[in-house]
Chain A
Amino acid sequence: MRVNVTVNGEQRQADDVWEGESLLFVLRERLGLPGSKNACEQGECGSCTVYLDDVPVCACLVAAGQVQDREVRTVEGLADGDALDPVQEAFVEAGAVQCGFCTPGLVVAAHDLLDRVPKPSDPEIREALAGNLCRCTGYEKILDAVRLAASRR
C-alpha cells in the first residue's frame, strides 16, 4: 500500500508498504530517516520514540497505515538546520551520550517533557524518561542534561 504522511514538516510518500509494517520501519528503511533506533520492537526500550501528531509514541508500535495523513516528527526534525535543539545541546554538554543508541529516543522524550513541564522536578524527569532504556550511562548524566536544558529555558 501507499502511505502519505507529513514527516518533519515535509510531505512524504512511501510505496509498497506492507500492511503489517511499523512506522519505525517506514521511517528507517523507506524514508531514509535512521535517527529513530530499532532495538526491542515491543515498546520496551523507547529508542524509536517519535512525535505522532505532537504526542510521543514508540514508532515500532504504530502500524504504517495508521499514520496516513498524519504528522510525524522524528529526532531529525528537532534541530533547526545546523543549530541543535537546546535539549540536544544539553545532551552533548552534559556528556549524556555513550554508545548513543538510546539517545534519539531520550532526546525526543526529554523534548516533550520540557514542552509540557518547563521546570520539571527530578521525579517528573524520571517518570517522563521511564520508558527509555540506557545500558551505558547509568542515567545520571542524562538527568543532568535534562536539568541543564530546563535551566536554559
Chain B
Amino acid sequence: MDFLRPETLAEALELKASRPDAVPIAGGTDVMVELNYDHRRPSALLDLTRVPELQQWSDGLRIGAGVPYVRIIDELGAALPGLAMASRTVGSPQIRNRGTVGGNLGAASPAGDTHPVLLASDAVIEVASVRGTRMIPAAEFYLGVKRNALEPDELIVAVHLTPAKGPQQFSKVGTRNAMVIAVCSFAISLFPRENRVGAAVGSAAPTPRRAHEAEQFLASALDFTSPKPLLDSVKREFGELVSRAASPIDDVRGSAAYRKHALAVMARRTLGWAWQELLDGERACA
C-alpha cells in the first residue's frame, strides 16, 4: 500500500488522476474502520489533511471538504443552523473533531447525518479533477447505497450553501444521543421570502432523498407573508407526505414500518419548531 501525502490541491488532483484507485482519507472515521477490520485493502491512501485549500471556509458560503464537524458547530452555527444541528449529532466529540462533511459525502451512506440538511438547503457539491471542476446539486449527488456521482479521478473539494434564509431544523432517531447511526433522520428548511420549503429524509431509502410532494404541499399550505399558528391538519398531512417519500427497509436498527412512522412524527415536530421560530421572529419585528 502507498501513502500519498499531497500538500496542495493541485498535487492531490494530479495524484488522484494517476492513481484513481487511491482512497482519499481525511478524518479517517470511516476509512480507518474499514482498514482496521480488513474490509478494504486499497492500493493507496490519499491523505488530504495537509491540503490547505480543503481546510477553510469562506463567506458565501463555501465550506472546504476537510472542515471538521466541530468547526461547523463552533463557527457556522448562526449561518447554517441546520447543518450545525446535524453535525452535533455525529458520533462523539472525538469523531466530530476529525470527521468532515466531505467524508460524509464521499461515503454517501444513506444514513449519513448531514445529507438531509444538504438536500433541504439546496447545497451544491464542488468536485474537481485535473480535467476541471464540476458543481453538482446535492439532489443529483447521491446515486445509490454508498454510491455518489464522483468519477474515479475526482475529489470532493467543497460544499456550497447559502446562509439560512429562514428557520431550519434537523431531527434524528437513535438509541442514544451519542455514537448512533441514524435509524432515520429528517431536515427541513424554510425559505419565507421565496414561499418555498426544503424537506429531506435520511436513512429511509437507498439514498438520502428530498420529499418533493411534501415540500410542494407545504409551500402552498403555508402563508409566509402573514404567518399564523399552524393547523394540525397541515402538520399531519405534511408528516404523511414525508413518510410516503421514504422507501425504508427492515434492518438491525429498525423496521421499515417504524421508520415510516418516525419520519411522520419528526416531520410534524420539526415543522412545528421551525414555524414557531418564524412566528417568534415576526413578533420580534412587529
Interface residues of A (CB under 8 A from B): 1, 18-20, 22, 41-44, 46, 49, 55-58, 60-63, 65-66, 68, 109, 112, 127-128, 130-132
Question: CA separation between A57 and B26, bound complex, in Å?
Answer: 13
In the bound complex, residues from chain A placing their C-beta under 8 Å from that of B41 are 20
In the bound complex, residues from chain A placing their C-beta under 8 Å from that of B94 are 43, 46, 49, 56-58, 109, 131
Instruction: Find A43's partner among B29, B35, B42 (CB 8 Å cutoff).
Output: B29
Could you tell me if B1 and A19 are in contact, using CB atoms closer than 8 angstroms?
Answer: yes
In the bound complex, residues from chain B placing their C-beta under 8 Å from that of A56 are 93-94, 97
Instruction: Find A61's partner among B32, B37, B93 (CB 8 Å cutoff).
Output: B32
A-B contact pairs, 22 of them (CB 8 A): A19-B44, A20-B42, A22-B32, A41-B36, A42-B33, A43-B33, A43-B95, A55-B97, A56-B97, A57-B97, A60-B32, A61-B98, A62-B98, A63-B28, A63-B32, A63-B47, A65-B3, A66-B49, A109-B94, A127-B178, A128-B93, A130-B179
Could you tell me if A65 and B28 are in contact, using CB atoms closer than 8 angstroms?
Answer: no
Asked if B138 lies at the interface with its beta carbon under 8 angstroms from chain A, I say no
Asked if B2 lies at the interface with its beta carbon under 8 angstroms from chain A, I say yes
In the bound complex, residues from chain B placing their C-beta under 8 Å from that of A112 are 93
Interface bits B187-206 vs A (CB < 8 Å: 1, else 0): 00000000000000000000
In the bound complex, residues from chain A placing their C-beta under 8 Å from that of B97 are 55-57
Interface residues of B (CB under 8 A from A): 1-3, 5, 25, 27-29, 31-33, 35-37, 41-42, 44-45, 47, 49, 91-95, 97-98, 177-179
Could you tell me if A60 and B36 are in contact, using CB atoms closer than 8 angstroms?
Answer: yes
**Chain A residue, CB-CB nearest to B70:** A55
**Chain B residue, CB-CB nearest to A56:** B94
Could you tell me if A63 and B3 are in contact, using CB atoms closer than 8 angstroms?
Answer: yes
Could you tell me if B3 and A131 are in contact, using CB atoms closer than 8 angstroms?
Answer: no
**Chain B residue, CB-CB nearest to A17:** B3
Question: CA separation between A42 and B177, bound complex, in Å?
Answer: 18
Could you tell me if A20 and B1 are in contact, using CB atoms closer than 8 angstroms?
Answer: yes
CB distance from B72 to the nearest CB of A (A): 15
Question: CA separation between A96 and B120, bound complex, in Å?
Answer: 44
Contact A61:B28 (CB < 8 A) given known A20-B35, A130-B179: yes
CB distance from B77 to the nearest CB of A (A): 15
Question: CA separation between A127 and B93, bound complex, in Å?
Answer: 8
**Chain B residue, CB-CB nearest to A128:** B93
